[in-house]
Amino acid sequence: LLDGDHVRRMLSSELGFSREHRDLHIQRLGYVAAEIAKSGGVAICAPIAPYAEMRRAVRAEVESRLAGFIEVYVSTPLATCEARDRKGLYARARAGLIPD
């Protein structure tokens, strides 16, 4: 399991949350997943990947290595996300404390 937060800490710690940085983080995660798949493994990735263009690019990268790719899209209402907010990100964003 490649958890988006854990991979970000280890491989993308210098990145923020701008569109460009989010795309780069997902690209790195996709590369790691593709390498795992290339070696015959199964990579389950759990990032927040809001941009369809980058999801398509990662799919193409993985499939170019002759590996399967299944995308599971989870749509959660904003109110539910804010209620769960275990990292406090939504509260900080509402307070204007997160620039990206």
Is residue 83 included in any domain, yes or no? no
Q: Residue 38: pLDDT band by 50, 70, 90 thresholds?
A: confident
DSSP notation for 31-94: HHHHHHHHTT----EE-----HHHHHHHHHHHHHTT-----------HHHHHHH-TTSHHHHHH
Report the domain count for the chain.
1
Is residue 88 included in any domain, yes or no? no
The per-residue pLDDT for range 76-87, each reduced to its tens digit, is 999 999 999 998
CA of residue 16 relative to chain centroid, distance: 13
Q: Residue 8: pLDDT band by 50, 70, 90 thresholds?
A: very high
CATH number reported for the structural domain that contains residue 40 in this entry: 3.40.50.300
Which residues lie closer than 8 Å to 27 by C-beta, 6 or more apart?
Answer: 54, 57, 58
Does pLDDT of 59 surpass 70?
yes
What pLDDT was estimated at residue 100?
Answer: 67
Distance CA 56, CA 62 (A): 10
pLDDT (average), residues 29-49: 91
Range of the domain at 26: 2-73
Is residue 78 included in any domain, yes or no? no
Q: At what angle do helices 52-64 and 19-38 cross, to 10 degrees?
A: 20
pLDDT (average), residues 3-19: 92
> Global pTM?
0.80
